[in-house]
Chains A and B, each alone.
Chain A
Amino acid sequence: MTRKTRRLWIVIACLACISSAAALTLRAFSSNIVFFMAPSQVKANPPAPDRTIRLGGMVMAGSLHRITENGAPVNSFNVTDGQAAVEVHYTGILPDLFREGQSVVALGTVQKNGGFTASEVLAKHDETYMPKEVAEELKRTGKWDPRFGKAPDAASWDTMTAKKAGG
């Protein structure tokens, strides 16, 4: 075996592996990418019911309800970004860091009636953390000015007017 044929073998093996890796990556991307959406985006153009998305926003204070269905606990709560609110249903134990009035990310699908069924709920570790999109949306609509202190309670975002904020 000469140096040239050896090199040819290695190049062939490399090309085969890289191209199959690229093909696998592209195929996996096309079916498995999960988009992040805020509640207002979900309301404006709802995704297909079989498409998994990540819904992020703040948990509306006072919106958490628990019921027991067939012996399993079902939690429902509203997630808002200041523009709209989406009702989320989740069967299971909410994470330890889940709080009303704090940010949350839910993985799941949008139902035909506009509700959201979550398969996974993630709460952020940092208590002061607010998703960037939410903070910007609040600032843009004039509901919160960071110069005048902490963000208002999540429950009031949907209903309050721009005038009341920061006053």
Chain B
Amino acid sequence: MFGPEQGHFALALACVLALIQFVVPLWGAHKRNARLVAMAPFLAVSQLLALAISFFSLIMCAVHDDFSVQNVAANSAASKPLLYKITGVWGNHEGSVLLWTLILGVCGAAVSAFGRNLPDILRGRVLAILGGVSAGFQLFCLLTSNPFDRVFPAPMDGQGMNPLLQDPGLAFHPPILYTGYVGFAVPFAFAVAALLEGRVDAAWGRWVRPWAVAAWCFLTCGIALGSWWSYYVLGWGGYWFWDPVENASLIPWLTGTALVHSAIVVEKREGLKIWTVLLAIATFSFSLSGTFLVRSGILNSVHAFANDPARGVFILALLALVIGGSLALFAWRAPSLTSGGLFSPVSREGSLVLNNILLCSICAVVVTGTMYPPFMQLLAGRTISVGKPFFDAATIPLTIPLLLAMGVGTALPWKRAQLARTFSHLFVAAIIAAVGLVLCFWKFSGALPIACGALAIWVIAASVTDILRRVGLGHSSMSDMVARARNLPRSSWGAALAHIGAGITVLGLCGMSGAQHAIVEIHVGETRSLAGDDWTLLNVHDYAGPNYRAMQADIAIRHNGKLITTLHPEKRDFTTQNQTTTEVAIHTNFITDLYGVVGDRHGTGANATYVLRLHRNPLAPWMWLGGLVMAIGGAFSLSDRRLRVGAPKRAAARNMAQA
């Protein structure tokens, strides 16, 4: 039932359905034919069904070890655990493109399901744009990277998966990250549809924002998960390498964050409309380019698993079509959009504009740093690279005013703020930040970590005091405060949580700047000290795993003679692939990570020495915890009544129909 041929057929069917979904509603909207437009949701759902069958077929091929399928033979092996047979489906180029289109199909179906109260024409156009993008990627999948290709003769066993990828964190990292990337297709489709319609208003802002927020949540989680993976799997003690692939996810995150904020201004004040449309287009364009950077060999990095020029050319053409087409449409139609309400520079709108400018400046710096080396190589033939020192020097000074503005922004009212009142609101937060500065002087070293740490505390304090002030702390009774807290819009809670999350992440980054490590070579029983802790190598033993051989070390860590923990780092040798991996052992108390890695064994018997790497990473878990809190904040704001309940949307839809 679910063999490779069925999967291939379902994929081709989905591609045809996507093409119809692209053409028919657009034509219907042009001709004002309501029946043609109304076909869009049906097409979107059937396209998703076909894609789901296709994807499920590929999973079944992998689960049943059908090595006559090229993709399974190249990436799987009979001895691989079941979980990794399933997750391995998207651990390679072909499967990941299929997953990409599947998620795009889910987005289309979600717009059909949750967009019932959108005006029909707008929904038809949005689905048509999604269908067009979907068709492009499905064609790419069918023509240049078909996951269902057969191989003859079929090998007895597969070549196996890169052992580095056999990890639960990485298994779920791509789907989450891709949902973030692809999710921005929906705001993009809304932006293009609005350009076609020639109208952007508050209702459009209200429709587009939940989609942008949802995509942003997934992208935030995806980036955090990827960073966490590289921290505990690669075993270098690092969490972010400014690798082109990592930057490719950071760039849409930065513009996406700007989009989430500027859409608020559209929704509340009908301002920044043209800018928001441009941001929606830019964010998805960067997402697409991100995939392009990963999938083609243009930016060679450790993550790239496809170096096929035919694919590169196809993707490049697809990118030119989508990005160039939407930008041309923007240039043509944007001048017809009228701009909205007035505001003073010191106001909520003003702070959101500043947030957008700063985020886009940081984004420009990251784009430059990422694209300059490959262009230099292309044009001048010199191989250069830029790394952490460059990005630190260029982005941190721009982050400082951003953090400063984050604290002030939420305390400002719309339209025009009175400075004296705002300062009185922020007074408590400023005092807390001053105390934080002293604390940072004591705990961190270096001017930038101290400044950023204090600003992170400032952001957290300002968010907390803002919520407390709105709840009415100090001048209302307890029951009154609870009632007020309940009535406070969920989006306010969400914004506060997201800002607190950002502050936590920044604190984690500042803490990590003071990380210490030592590389030692010792016998069993010897002790070395690092930053006040004594690390003793107790024992080393070998054992056999399901598809590897492992060497495990027992390291006891004592502080002033008191045992803190025993770490068990491993070094695994995968014989099928002739590869070794490092299993890091981490002990965390959520303030400090103790991180141990075992390296090579030299010599034999009692004389053997072992190379160990020992790390002490202050505040490391906070970096990812902050990302999680940010995503929870976004989810909270998604559950806002105004976004959930249809009443205001239906009223707005009626107004639109009348207009």
Contacts and interface: CB of A to CB of B under 8 A. Distances in A.
B389 interface: yes
A36 B384 contact: yes
A93 interface: yes
Contact of A72 (B302, B387, B520): B520
A2 B597 CA distance: 62
Interface in B330-384: 342-345, 350, 353-354, 357-358, 360-362, 364-365, 368-369, 372, 382-384
Contacts of B389: 28, 31-32
Contact of A92 (B343, B390, B519, B528): B519
Contact of B364 (A18, A31, A66, A72): A18
Interface string A112-151: 0000000000101101000001000000000000000000
Contacts of B581: 96
B344 A96 contact: no
B397 interface: yes
A13 B398 contact: no
B385 A71 contact: no
B32 interface: no
B599 interface: yes
A32 B386 contact: yes
Interface residues of A, number: 41
Contacts of A91: 519
User: Interface on chain B toward A: helix, strand, loop, or mixed SS?
Assistant: mixed
B279 to A, nearest CB: 14
Contacts of B587: none
Interface residues of B, number: 52
A21 interface: yes
Contacts of A24: 365, 393-394, 397-398
B246 to A, nearest CB: 15
A122 B387 CA distance: 14
Interface string A83-94: 000000001111
A71 B609 CA distance: 10
Contacts of B345: 1, 6, 9
A151 B384 CA distance: 26
B327 to A, nearest CB: 19
Contacts of B613: 92-93
A3 B522 CA distance: 71
B390 A96 contact: no
Contact of B385 (A3, A14, A20, A54): A54
Interface of A: 1-3, 6, 9-10, 13-14, 17-18, 20-21, 24-25, 27-29, 31-36, 54, 66, 68, 71-73, 91-94, 96-97, 107, 122, 124-125, 127, 133
